[in-house]
Chain A
């Protein structure tokens, strides 16, 4: 439900970063989104198309990397990946896991930009 405001924040942050690259064209914006981040991938894409209109991000592609939950299992003394969100237990030993190491991310990872062509004087 709040994907539009999330995407609007992405557009703002990327626009701010672009100040250092005058004239550059944005090709891709790459996000890292944990499965516990409470956002829907399709909605992000849908909202992105609307939010970039008339900005320096117009024409760019949104790439979303979805991250599974990784939790610390004290019993196995290892970081383990959970298969889904229906059970917060170690897939190896079945013990409950509380200490999450990954899964809540809602980050801008990087952007791919194309620098402006150098002005060639005839």
Chain B
């Protein structure tokens, strides 16, 4: 009886990674900037996205969104009120979005007719960090009500992000939000990350955020 080692050396998420690479190439060819929004449940991803879609559309941009939740199409209905095409992805128990779900839900959309596509992930700060969706920019969101140490508690996600958005800053004062500590914690985990301090309610910080999106899109299409 002989025992031997067979080298496999392959990514466990190889199938997802391959699909994501394909999506990324497709997005690039179409000239659409794709963002993957990740946060805990309750951070305000949907409110932030509602505001972003509305403001971008007002500025004449062509936008669309995919929104992931375990159940219900409540978020898709909320986002669709902005007038943008929106599709709900129901994962039925799965704690994150995968590239295959994105592929399926893009069916019939003409990507070349879009400037921006937002993918709102399932509310979860752990599992989405392992799954590439083909996005160009991964955005980690954190609200002032959650505690300044969230980036330290969930370093795997924050370290994988390209931009961080602090939401609900209109509530910073009543919540006793320690801004300096929060910014420091984010940068400790992800040095050099772009940070935006926003309020979907008052519109604070949206101008910076929209300028960033526009600049990133220009880089893509240069």
> Footprint of B on A, CB under 8 Å?
1-2, 5-6, 9-10, 13-14, 17, 21, 27, 31, 36-39, 85-89, 96-98, 100, 104, 106-115, 117
B164 to chain A, nearest CB (A): 14
A26 to chain B, nearest CB (A): 10
Residue among B5, B12, B156 with the most chain A CB within 10 A?
B12
Residues of B within 8 A of A31 (CB): 12
Question: Which of B2, B96, B191 makes the CB contact (< 8 A) with A115?
Answer: B2
Chain B residues 1-49 with CB under 8 Å of chain A are 1-15
Having A86-B155, A88-B159, A88-B190, one finds 6 other A-B pairs with CB under 8 Å, namely: A31-B12, A36-B159, A86-B152, A100-B159, A111-B5, A111-B6
Residues of A within 8 A of B94 (CB): 2, 5
Measured in the bound complex, the distance between the Cα atoms of B155 and A1 in whole Å is 16
Would you call A96 and B10 a contact (CB within 8 A)? no
Contact of A108 with B12 at beta-carbon distance under 8 Å, contacts A36-B156, A38-B157, A96-B192 already known: yes
**Does residue B90 face the partner (Cβ distance < 8 Å to A)?**
no
Residues of B within 8 A of A36 (CB): 129, 155-156, 159-160
Chain B residues 126-172 with CB under 8 Å of chain A are 126-127, 129-130, 152, 155-157, 159-160
Measured in the bound complex, the distance between the Cα atoms of B9 and A31 in whole Å is 9
Would you call B4 and A106 a contact (CB within 8 A)? no
B128 to chain A, nearest CB (A): 9
The 3 closest A-B pairs by CB, nearest first: A96-B191, A85-B155, A2-B127
Measured in the bound complex, the distance between the Cα atoms of B4 and A114 in whole Å is 6
**Does residue B194 face the partner (Cβ distance < 8 Å to A)?**
no
Q: Closest residue of chain B to A1, judged by CB?
A: B95
Measured in the bound complex, the distance between the Cα atoms of B12 and A38 in whole Å is 13
Measured in the bound complex, the distance between the Cα atoms of B156 and A103 in whole Å is 10
Residue among A10, A100, A108 with the most chain B CB within 10 A?
A108
A4 to chain B, nearest CB (A): 10
Measured in the bound complex, the distance between the Cα atoms of B9 and A111 in whole Å is 10
Question: Which of A10, A38, A88, A115 makes the CB contact (< 8 A) with B4?
Answer: A115
Residues of A within 8 A of B6 (CB): 17, 21, 110-113
Chain B residues 88-114 with CB under 8 Å of chain A are 94-96
**Does residue B124 face the partner (Cβ distance < 8 Å to A)?**
yes
Between-chain CB contacts (< 8 Å), 14 pairs: A9-B15, A13-B14, A17-B6, A36-B155, A36-B156, A37-B130, A38-B127, A85-B156, A88-B188, A88-B191, A98-B191, A104-B160, A110-B5, A115-B4
Residues of A within 8 A of B183 (CB): none
Q: Closest residue of chain B to A10, judged by CB?
A: B12
Contact of A6 with B5 at beta-carbon distance under 8 Å, contacts A38-B127, A85-B155, A88-B188 already known: no
A25 to chain B, nearest CB (A): 9
Would you call A17 and B124 a contact (CB within 8 A)? no
**Does residue B62 face the partner (Cβ distance < 8 Å to A)?**
no
**Does residue B206 face the partner (Cβ distance < 8 Å to A)?**
no
Q: Closest residue of chain B to A95, judged by CB?
A: B191
